[in-house]
Amino acid sequence: MSSTVSDNINNAQQKVVLIGRPNSGKSLLFNQLTGLQQKVANFPGVTVELKSGKMKDLTIVDFPGTYSLHSFSQDEQVAVDAIYKALDSDETGLIVCVLDASRLERSLVFGLQIQALAKKHNKGFVFVINMIDDALRFGHEIDVQGLSTELGSPVFALSAKTLIGLSEFQQALPELVEKQQSTIPKIVNDNHDDVIKQSRQLAYKFGMNANVVLKQQNRIDQFLLHNWLGGVAFMAIMFLLFQSIFTWATPLMDAVESGIGILASFVSKMLPEGIFNDFLNDAIFGGVGSFLVFVPQIMVLTFIIGLLEDSGYLARAALICHKPLSFFGLSGRSFIPYLSGHACAIPAIMAARTIESPRKRLITMMTIPLMSCSARLPVYALLIAVFIPQVQYLGGLVNTQGMVFFGLYMTGIVTALIVSFVMDKMHFADSDKSEMPFILELPSYRLPHWKPLMYRVLNSAKYFIRRAAPVIFMVSVGIWILGYFPIHEGGLENSYLGHIGHFIEPLFEPLGIDWRYGVAILMSFLAREVFVGTLGTLFGIEGADENIAGLAANIQNDGLTFAAGMGLLMFYVIALQCVATVATIKAETGSQKIAWGLVVGYGALAYLMAFIVYNIF
């Protein structure tokens, strides 16, 4: 089975359109049919753009999940617009509506609306009852043939997770498209009350007892959504999340660092001394190699967030956070983009489309850059390794470095909340404060589907390397050339880079750092992780044949003070140093003034806070 991804759907083939509510497993079904690995999660707003892939001679299109044809948010509007466009297109061969076996009544309300539209547009239509494994787990077997007769459309029962019934559906798809199976629903009625009544009757006759599912779900929710126990559990989960980035990733980081050191020594011995040898040692192994050491932490972060997403806990966390976030002018839905921002700000800003209120959506997007994304991880990890001793507690589950790491992330979150509060009180966004009530569907608790999760983890590492490595390579080469020449006339201090660095040094002296760190900060405005690569190159040039990968040890030996190090950490918690994020903010807000205003504003605030921290310590 071959597969490709395209945002522009292939017009040469018949399309099979997947439509369904959030949490119905639609995207996982899409992955299984096409062999692709689109992100799957238990909350709306994950898929806010059309994705397509091939299954043999068919083009499968995954539409954004939506609860209703009457949209309340931007991502739902994307889905609704796309649905009507697909129904009007001659290239659409079949509409597949994905239902949730454990919540058949709710799924059918939307499904019957889509079925009626498909009938009016004379489009082939089929129902897929997904997550049939949940029904079987509770001892319920759905009468597929009887339900198909009642609905007047073909019905398939399957599990995209356990693959039950999937092969039968795959085999039937080409024939269904070829026949252009028309729908013959008993009720073609736009009256919402009639649709709800029919859905309830069908779910009662053919569906599983919803109380059985809710009883199990409620037992867990009694603890996780308890008035104060839920908050304690939430803080404990967040604390363990950031602790795990250090404790779980340390062995992998040590292995990567050792591997880079061994490779560097081997290559250095194989080549004669000279400029090329120095370039490989200083720019490649010293610069690019220094940031590769921190890739395991990004993988661990992605893995933990993936567990929270796939299990269904994120929706509960959004519910827990709604009341406190409302005080700061935000919504419970702001929590999901905020948490996503700890991986990467770009998809997090796009995920803010799920927030119904234009005011809260804008404030959320503008404060997401204060979340500590994965690009900050190398900077945090490097400086923490330099200044914070690794003292372990509770058998190694908790250590001081992880606690400081958690503190840095919380500092970013608290700063974002304070900025949000100020923006809200300043009436920065739309002055109309009339809001819709906060409504959020709580998905069933489920075990993660491990294959897509592990693919996501590996893909996060590949994406980070692919995005950061070219920039770090170019910066490292540029820094090396400026710092190496004229190397025989007094070393790094008197190089071209040294002259540039000393020119800008007065700007950074109030923070207790010299020109080398100043150069690294300026270079990192391209991307934060460049800070590590730049320092790796600079210390590589100075250190000559010393330990190339041991950048933390080089900084310790250099004598950077604790106060200056803490100030640097504070600077990177706040400063907006990512060109791609700026571009995304500009695209989503439609305002260049807002995008570059955030760069200047957060940059000035970061400098001020770094100065305060330096003088406090």
SS (H, E, C) 324-362: HHHHCCCCHHHHHHHHHCCCCHHHHHHHHHHCCCHHHHH
Report residue 211's pLDDT band, with 50, 70 and 90 as the boundaries: low
521, pLDDT greater than 80: yes
Collapsing DSSP to helix, strand or coil, 62 comes out as: strand
Q: Which domains does the chain have, with CATH numbers?
A: 15-209 (3.40.50.300)
Q: What is the mean pLDDT of residues 306-314?
A: 83
Strands 58-62 and 51-55: antiparallel
pTM over 0.85: no
Distance CA 491, CA 470 (A): 27
Dihedral Cα 393, 399, 404, 408, nearest 10 deg: -110
Who has greater pLDDT, 612 or 241?
612
Spatial neighbors of 251 by CB under 8 A, at least 6 apart, are none
Spatial neighbors of 437 by CB under 8 A, at least 6 apart, are none
Residues in the chain: 617
Distance CA 462, CA 379 (A): 19
As given in the structure block, the two tokens for residue 455 are 């693919």
157-198 per-position pLDDT tens digit: 999 888 899 999 999 888 888 775 444 454 445 567 788 888
Who has greater pLDDT, 13 or 23?
23
From 346, 347, 345, 365, select the one nearest 355 (Cα to Cα). Answer: 365
Report residue 312's pLDDT band, with 50, 70 and 90 as the boundaries: confident
